Chain A
């Protein structure tokens, strides 16, 4: 993307539970800051204008598109990427289900898809397949045809409900 403003901004962010202080160009997008400055390449940049969901991150407990938010806007925020969520075990069940159901092929959409799906599951309850499809409708996947992803998310929702964890699962990282 063009138009990186030349001014620099000082920010303090918590990324995956660790404090980060940085001086970033004012036009730097959050996903680029994470990828280029912090080496966290789990979130991907694809459409770079908010349509595909490949850059989905968790910021202050919400699923957010890292290509629409500036790093400067994240000053003071609590940012989680797939790397941190993995380390925390916040979505281990979902990751296992994706592998077991082969809900990924090339894997480029997968980190964003998992963050988005975890966001839905953290609301608790067992969403219908239609609700799962609706919730993931901002996350593009060219490989799978989506059905395996819906299956994986549905199976985790059921398992979490059965374990009585519901909305609490995954809170460790939020």
Chain B
């Protein structure tokens, strides 16, 4: 039996409805349970002495003053931990040529970025551990520091890792068609230099971990703010020589992740190692400076790009040269080459064109390591593509919407393979653009812009179409050798009172995973969502799965939940048919009742069936299967990724005297396939947009040439606050994926993917009459005034 998604009045129609999140009530009452809220008996705290210099040999460590602090129990150097914790190397086999040196939990004889942990101090209180960490004396012999991306490969630049032969971590060139010939024959070739700033996630809850080692059971339990509990289980087991089955990772409430909490951090592995040595619970909570210097950074790209078009605005070629600096190590185990690789995969994404060349060059530097952060590579690729398309439109005097319409894949063209060799199963660029035009009333807005201009107000409209990669298969990490699961599982069971418990391998980080799963299971089984309890985030309890990343929760975890729920429904109906002496196919479950499928007449509540199965099994036919528990796992198999699409628009005003940008309104129409909970999807989009707006207008990590991070506080690294953010209109087109019964794709990154490009294009639309243009993010007042030649030094 399939679900009639088209009929909103079907029985148990919970998929597609806004249903409240079961965990929200707890959180508004302050009853969340984040890692720092957990206190265990005999718990101690660890703090880290970190490198104050960007690159140096460690020639001596003096721990005496630190040891004298009251409450200090033990100190660990890199050499101490290296005895019990093996180093790791952040490479993947399918990213050909990617190299990175071994990385230790604590620096052993060399520190390679400001913030790298060097000595761990364990004390009875966090305050004592921190005070003692500040008293650790380390002798550093300075080594040459490499900070600039574009000169990292120059022959005169020192090598960060002489053993590796050069500062190149990874390079990939993709070529399709003949870009040079296309440019030579083009009506116009437009080029631009783009820059996206170094960002970090600034999760409100800092990275947090509490690890306990029970020597009697030889079992490790890690309470961890993570997106991937099973991945971390493998990592702890492998590097601390513990059987995987003896590591349990528990992930309760997590205070924001956005990709920050899906990586292996040396201080967190050190915390686990120390717990094993000391045989007691050890807690590490990063402070805000540590967050800025050690949470992964992202998006530090410099790009030269060109677009060639004919007289009609048809795109003939796109040519991209992307450079990024990733810090001294490729981050384990997902690697720091994925972001650049994504730029190559995603540029030109919405458009049907033939000639494409893109190269990414990924170099080492002495800065904080970079890795995957919400919408990995998308904001960069979308800024390049949509920036180029707008410049081309301006060059030939065409409306930016019109040039897009002339180039986007037709909605009936699918399946297609893009020039980047991405396979699209079904997208809706034109329908999405039509919907956007209607929502924003494009023509009226253009009229408003003209009227404002007459009053000396410089307003701009920016459009950005995009594709988003979701529902990843093993092609993302697994084929490269990483033990990162692309499949996910769900176990659903019915208890005697007719209530349902579902355990899933995907995790909740606030996006509404548990609500989404409860709706799907409720519909799959035939009970109200309030009768379903969801359990996530415990490797000892849930089926094996990948967790939360690359917008996979609904599409993959959701499908597993649907299949498990449907299977449980069948098991229940088999028992019901025996009890009622009815034909199983004539029965259904609706709102917790066994009913006649045709008439809807109630035959028996699930409580009664539960009572019989669990307490009066003697009354059932001998040999009748009576397992009221089912597990299903799901993996995508037809397409390596389920692409989604969308289009955003920004309307803003630029004050040409101060350079200040005021966001007036923002729109996003996106197509994530089947929508399970409209409200949750809309709020994912809104949150994502604002994260993208932060990158467009404010966020930028600054380093000096010695590799010192200059703005490591929330007062100095500006994030979007309520006062500066616009209201956002969100609309949808639904093109379900045919790969699954549910048809859901991801929605977690669409907002962040498109917002920066929309803002860039809107600013440039506002500035165009003045002949000014900005392509270097964030678009600070200073950069805008420079573009207007109002600042010139």
Interface, chain A (partner B; CB < 8 A): 1-4, 6, 25, 27, 35, 39-49, 51-52, 54, 81-83, 86, 95, 98-100, 102, 104-111, 114, 129, 132-134, 136-150
Contact = CB atoms under 8 A, between A and B. Distances in A.
A33 to B, nearest CB: 12
Interface in B80-111: none
Contact of B127 (A2, A43, A54): A2
A107 B510 contact: yes
B36 A146 contact: no
A148 B125 CA distance: 38
A108 B26 CA distance: 12
Interface stretch (B333-341, B711-719, B757-765): B711-719
Interface stretch (B4-12, B467-475, B679-687): B679-687
B287 A82 contact: no
Contacts of A108: 32, 34, 203-205, 255-256
B191 interface: no
B253 interface: yes
27 contacts: A39-B39, A44-B255, A45-B36, A47-B288, A48-B288, A49-B288, A49-B714, A51-B714, A52-B204, A52-B714, A102-B21, A102-B683, A104-B510, A106-B27, A106-B509, A106-B510, A107-B27, A107-B255, A107-B510, A110-B30, A140-B204, A142-B719, A145-B691, A145-B725, A146-B725, A147-B725, A148-B683
Contacts of B683: 102, 105, 144-145, 148
Contact of B680 (A3, A52, A102, A136): A102
Contacts of B689: 145
Interface in B1-38: 20-21, 23-34, 36-37
Contacts of A54: 204
Interface string B414-440: 000000000000000000000000000
A2 B714 CA distance: 18
A147 B30 CA distance: 21
Given A99-B20, A140-B714, 18 more contacts: A3-B131, A27-B127, A46-B255, A52-B204, A99-B21, A102-B21, A106-B27, A106-B509, A107-B32, A108-B32, A141-B204, A141-B722, A143-B510, A144-B686, A145-B689, A146-B690, A146-B720, A147-B725
A140 B202 CA distance: 10
A98 B721 CA distance: 18
Interface of B: 20-21, 23-34, 36-37, 39, 70, 125, 127-128, 130-131, 134, 201-206, 253-258, 287-288, 509-512, 679-680, 683, 686-691, 713-715, 719-723, 725, 727-728, 751
Most B-side CB within 10 Å, residue of A51, A137, A143: A143
A91 B32 CA distance: 17
A46 B204 contact: yes
B131 A44 contact: no
Contacts of B727: 129, 147, 150
Nearest to A108: B255
Nearest to B256: A106
Contact of A110 (B27, B70, B690): B27
A2 B25 CA distance: 35
A99 B34 CA distance: 19
A99 B24 contact: yes
Contacts of B204: 44, 46, 52, 54, 106, 108-109, 140-142
Nearest to A101: B679
The B interface is mostly helix, strand or loop, or mixed, namely loop
Contacts of B728: 145, 147
A3 B69 CA distance: 12
The A interface is mostly helix, strand or loop, or mixed, namely loop
Given A3-B131, A107-B510, A147-B686, A137 B32 contact: no
B375 to A, nearest CB: 14
The 3 closest A-B pairs by CB, nearest first: A42-B30, A107-B27, A106-B510
A1 B287 contact: yes
A51 B713 contact: yes
A98 B714 contact: no
Contact of B715 (A39, A49, A139): A49
Given A46-B206, A137-B722, A147-B725, A142 B287 contact: no
Given A46-B205, A98-B24, A106 B723 contact: no
B30 A43 contact: yes
A141 B751 CA distance: 16
Contacts of B254: 106
Contacts of A98: 24, 28
B30 A82 contact: yes
A45 B205 CA distance: 8
A6 B71 CA distance: 12
Nearest to B131: A2
A52 B721 CA distance: 9
A100 B727 CA distance: 18
A144 B687 contact: yes
Contacts of B32: 41, 107-108
A58 to B, nearest CB: 13
B722 A105 contact: no
Contacts of A52: 204, 714
A95 B26 CA distance: 10
A155 to B, nearest CB: 14
Contacts of A109: 204
Nearest to B253: A107
A3 B128 CA distance: 9
A84 B650 CA distance: 42
A144 to B, nearest CB: 5
A136 to B, nearest CB: 4
A25 B39 CA distance: 20
Nearest to A84: B30
Contacts of B751: 145
B723 A100 contact: no
Contacts of A100: 20
Most A-side CB within 10 Å, residue of B20, B26, B33, B686: B686
A96 to B, nearest CB: 8
Contacts of A39: 39
Contacts of A110: 27-28, 30
A44 B483 CA distance: 34
